[in-house]
Chain A
Amino acid sequence: MADNYLTDGYTLASWLTTRDHKRIALLYFAAITTFFFVGGAAATLIRLELATAQGDLVSDDTYNRLFTAHGVIMVWLFLIPSIPSALGNFLMPMMIGARDLAFPRLNLASWYIYVAGGVMIITALFLGGVDTGWTFYTPFSTLFSNSHVVLTLLGVFVVGFSSILTGLNFIVTVHTMRAPGLTWFRLPLFVWANYATSLILVLATPVLAMTLVLLAIERIFQVGIFNPALGGDPLLFQHLFWFYSHPAVYIMILPAMGVASEIIPCFARRPVFGYRFMAYAILGIAIIGFLVWGHHMFVSGQSVYASLVFSLLSFLVAIPSAIKVFNWTATLYKGSIRFSAPMLYALGFVGLFTIGGLTGLYLASLALDVHLTDTYFVVAHFHYIMVGGSVMAYFGGVHFWWPKISGRMYPEIWGKVAAVIVFVGFNLTFFPQYLLGVQGMPRRYHAYPDEFTVLNVLSSAGASILAVGYLLPLAYLAWSIFRGERATSNPWRATGLEWQTASPPPTENFEHPPEVTREPYDYRPEGEIAPP
């Protein structure tokens, strides 16, 4: 094997002090995978508890700590960094033909900051956990909770700075380091998506950070601006929290859209349909996404007029998402489609994201949201977006770029099997939760009335299938590192710049700095002659 970034130093120190974006990406992969399975363990216990109507497996306090741990870990330690920090770190510089990100030291620093925050959150978990829910609503979190709130807040605060620094790095890199000829409208949609995500990271995360500081001040000193006894207002916290946390949903889904937009054209052998609309849609989602936070608060007591405006904007943000779904579908038309594992994941992503997005319309509809909000309908909706959408796409992306990252092919048959298991398991887990929500089962319930039992048992059964689907890739991808077939530089015959260098790439990414002369996604079926 020729020299590449993996052979460039074997010591632990060579990894922990690396400034190579590809190695840092692998550091992220390691950390994220760990946190994913910790968060997944919490989810397993939650579903086990909910397999029966009585709260008989764990106590109510333990249950509350479990769903809080699941939420905090999955949102801040897995979903938000998953695609941008791991896949994005590896791919962004290569996709734009650069040698590295603009600030490699900052990049390494953001990994350490991320791990430090993660360690704080996990420490809080082991000290006894937190029982506020990942939303930290006041005054429960400030005056009533007897758990490790402050340490968890600190952990999330610290992780936030990792997000900010990664976002900053991406923005500057995309602006200043594109290869000659790589104009904005020749950028891969994955780059567009991560660019838009970075804007959200940079502008929304600091608001969360300061909000958490105010929360911690209020809890520690018993003073504060969210406390009704001091003339403050708990709804102010909700506004600030969702000002970050709604855009955070787009932080999680936009990069997933980027991944799907790379995979689908490649395996359909057609340029992505309506490239420019796709890019505009990404920006549209990022911008309108900042203006819809109030739709989490339709029953909180905010004014009717505010609710009307937020409802309207929530319908508007659905439009660019719909454009993307239609355009992915249209990309298949007259293609030459091959169903490799990444394509199965990507098509699964489109399907599940569509269901998640459509059910978002139910929640944007004011009178209907009154009934559905804070029930399992919401739980199902955001899991369809974040797990059905983001995690599906993340797995698709890992399979798609696995040859580039590891220099080995994963076993194709197992990849397909896992994709199908995840798809089936996911739907069995979460579709019943829509029905539970419609029937009125509130979320965060440790025990429930008997009539909800059947659907809960179905959901728990699905979760066990889903768990198999998630563990399987861990096994065969690890196996492939040692035994997998060696990958060529471009096994999928893909057009992105990252495929024009060796697999795995050399430390400096490209032997000769690339120059871009073609439009993006210049795919055509084998044997078809390029138009003049």
Chain B
Amino acid sequence: MSAFELLPPAASTMAGRVDTIFLTLSALCGFVALAIAVLIVVFAIRYREGASVDRSNPPTRNRALEIGWIVVPLVIFAGIFLWAGADYAELRRQPADAMPIFVVAKQWMWKLEHEGGRREINELHVPVGRPVRLVMTSEDVIHSFFVPAFRIKQDVVPGRYSSLWFTATGPGNYHLFCAEYCGSQHAAMGGRIVAMAPADFARWLESGGPTSGIAARGFALFRRYGCSGCHDPRSTVHAPDLAGLLGRSVHLADGRSLVADEAYIRDSVLLPNRDVVAGFEPIMPSFVGQIAEDELMAIIEYIRSMPGA
């Protein structure tokens, strides 16, 4: 057995920063715990019953001292809060140039799909040094995508898209766990992340043989489910044009407006009457129960790939 390591391997750009917080807190808390333990032991021995020691003028309270041990922790806590909060905000801010990967969780496996269409189960190959963005949803219950070596975790909730990003820093194999309890085989719902040098990754992608690409698959589904019947610009039915939709601001019939993201498109397919676009009739049928989550993701990628209006 190798020497004991406190921390798991650190293999992402975030890992070092999280570890710094961890080690700082550990030093701080270790010091406080030790100080309290020493004080208790010293008092316990020095003032044990029967010991002859000066016990005169015992304090029953000391305002200055008490206010002191309110204010000092408060200042320290505020500092840690800001520090850890800033890193958290960073973790939730997606880099614009990140490579997207589509993740569908189900009891009890991870289905992953690369932009080029290559699919994997319970294993994810990623290149080192390039930000990777995961777009995730679940087909059934809540799962959680957890890679200890990257110090990242994100719940994957049915009915919405969660996202997560990381940049791997070292080649290697790392654990992938499901961290949110999801039923019988929760403990078996894991796999590994294979981080590879960019050249190796490119080779790996090609070794999968020619695939049509996720957007092309999405286009086929777009036709198969009849979406193109109404949403094609040449269609006679009055339906919104989808080109360049993602990231665009949309005005809704009830006066609200929102920025179209993946979750918005997903909702529009499954609950079309929820956010109707201004100027259109709510005539679109719901596709609840007919369309699988990975198919929805492919359709969204097709919409993303449509030439902008």
Residues of A bordering B, CB below 8 Å: 55, 60-61, 64, 131, 133, 135, 137, 139-140, 143-145, 228-229, 231, 233-235, 268-271, 273-277, 298-301, 304, 307-308, 311-312, 315-316, 318-319, 322-323, 325-327, 329-330, 332-339, 347, 350-351, 354-355, 358-359, 361-362, 364-371, 373-375, 435, 438-440, 442-449, 454, 525, 528
- Which of A131, A332, A334, A439 is B44 in contact with, Cβ under 8 Å? A332
A369 contacts across to B, CB distance below 8 A: 84
B33 at the interface (CB under 8 A from A): yes
- Which of A61, A131, A139, A351 is B40 in contact with, Cβ under 8 Å? A351
Question: Can you give 6 A-B contacts (C-beta < 8 A)?
Answer: A300-B155, A308-B89, A323-B66, A334-B55, A354-B33, A365-B83
Docked-complex contact B85 and A319, CB < 8 angstroms: no
Docked-complex contact B148 and A139, CB < 8 angstroms: no
Q: For B51, give the chain A residue with the smallest CB separation.
A: A336
Interface SS majority for chain A: helix
For the complex, what is the distance from the CA of A300 to the CA of B157, rounded to whole Å? Answer: 8
B154 at the interface (CB under 8 A from A): yes
For the complex, what is the distance from the CA of A448 to the CA of B179, rounded to whole Å? Answer: 12
Docked-complex contact A334 and B58, CB < 8 angstroms: yes
Q: For B186, give the chain A residue with the smallest CB separation.
A: A444
B33 contacts across to A, CB distance below 8 A: 354-355, 358
- Interface residues of B, CB < 8 Å — how many? 86
Looking at the complex, which of B73-81, B200-208, B214-222 is the stretch in contact with chain A? B73-81
Docked-complex contact A268 and B81, CB < 8 angstroms: no
Q: For B150, give the chain A residue with the smallest CB separation.
A: A371
A365 contacts across to B, CB distance below 8 A: 21, 25, 80-81, 83-84
Instruction: Report the tally of A-B residue pairs with Cβ distances under 8 A.
Output: 261
Q: For B107, give the chain A residue with the smallest CB separation.
A: A144
Looking at the complex, which of B114-122, B139-147, B239-247 is the stretch in contact with chain A? B139-147
A268 contacts across to B, CB distance below 8 A: 47
Distance (Å) between the CB of A105 and the closest chain B CB?
A: 41
Docked-complex contact A366 and B88, CB < 8 angstroms: yes
Docked-complex contact B155 and A299, CB < 8 angstroms: yes
For the complex of A and B, 5 pairs with smallest distance between CB atoms = A228-B159, A440-B148, A366-B88, A367-B87, A365-B84
Instruction: Check A371/B152 contact, CB under 8 A, given A365-B81, A438-B22.
Output: yes
- Which of B18, B32, B74, B107 is A370 in contact with, Cβ under 8 Å? B18
Contact mask B240-272 → A, CB, 8 Å, 1/0?
000000000000000000000000000000010
Distance (Å) between the CB of B103 and the closest chain A CB?
A: 14
Docked-complex contact B151 and A371, CB < 8 angstroms: yes
Docked-complex contact B7 and A439, CB < 8 angstroms: yes
Q: Which of A235, A364, A367, A448 has the most CB of B within 10 A?
A: A367
Contact mask B177-211 → A, CB, 8 Å, 1/0?
11111111111100000000000000000000000
Docked-complex contact B148 and A235, CB < 8 angstroms: no
B90 contacts across to A, CB distance below 8 A: 367
For the complex, what is the distance from the CA of A337 to the CA of B43, rounded to whole Å? Answer: 9
Instruction: Check A144/B88 contact, CB under 8 A, given A358-B32, A439-B7.
Output: no
Distance (Å) between the CB of A365 and the closest chain B CB?
A: 4
A61 contacts across to B, CB distance below 8 A: 184
Distance (Å) between the CB of B144 and the closest chain A CB?
A: 6
Docked-complex contact A335 and B58, CB < 8 angstroms: yes
A332 contacts across to B, CB distance below 8 A: 39-40, 43-44, 47
Docked-complex contact B69 and A326, CB < 8 angstroms: yes
Instruction: Check A231/B29 contact, CB under 8 A, given A337-B43, A368-B18, A442-B146.
Output: no
Q: For B144, give the chain A residue with the smallest CB separation.
A: A374
Instruction: Check A447/B187 contact, CB under 8 A, given A315-B77, A333-B58, A371-B148.
Output: yes
A270 contacts across to B, CB distance below 8 A: 58, 60
Distance (Å) between the CB of A143 and the closest chain B CB?
A: 8
Q: For B140, give the chain A residue with the smallest CB separation.
A: A144
A64 contacts across to B, CB distance below 8 A: 181, 183-184, 186
Distance (Å) between the CB of B236 and the closest chain A CB?
A: 31
A443 contacts across to B, CB distance below 8 A: 179, 181
Q: Which of B37, B61, B185 has the most CB of A within 10 A?
A: B61
B238 at the interface (CB under 8 A from A): no
Q: For B162, give the chain A residue with the smallest CB separation.
A: A301
For the complex, what is the distance from the CA of A444 to the CA of B142, rounded to whole Å? Answer: 14
Q: Which of A145, A228, A327 has the most CB of B within 10 A?
A: A228
Q: For B90, give the chain A residue with the smallest CB separation.
A: A367
Instruction: Check A228/B158 contact, CB under 8 A, given A446-B186, A449-B175.
Output: yes
Docked-complex contact A439 and B8, CB < 8 angstroms: yes
Q: Among residues 64 to 116 in chain B, which have CB atoms less than 8 Å away from a CB atom of chain A? A: 65-66, 69-70, 73-74, 77-78, 80-81, 83-85, 87-92, 107
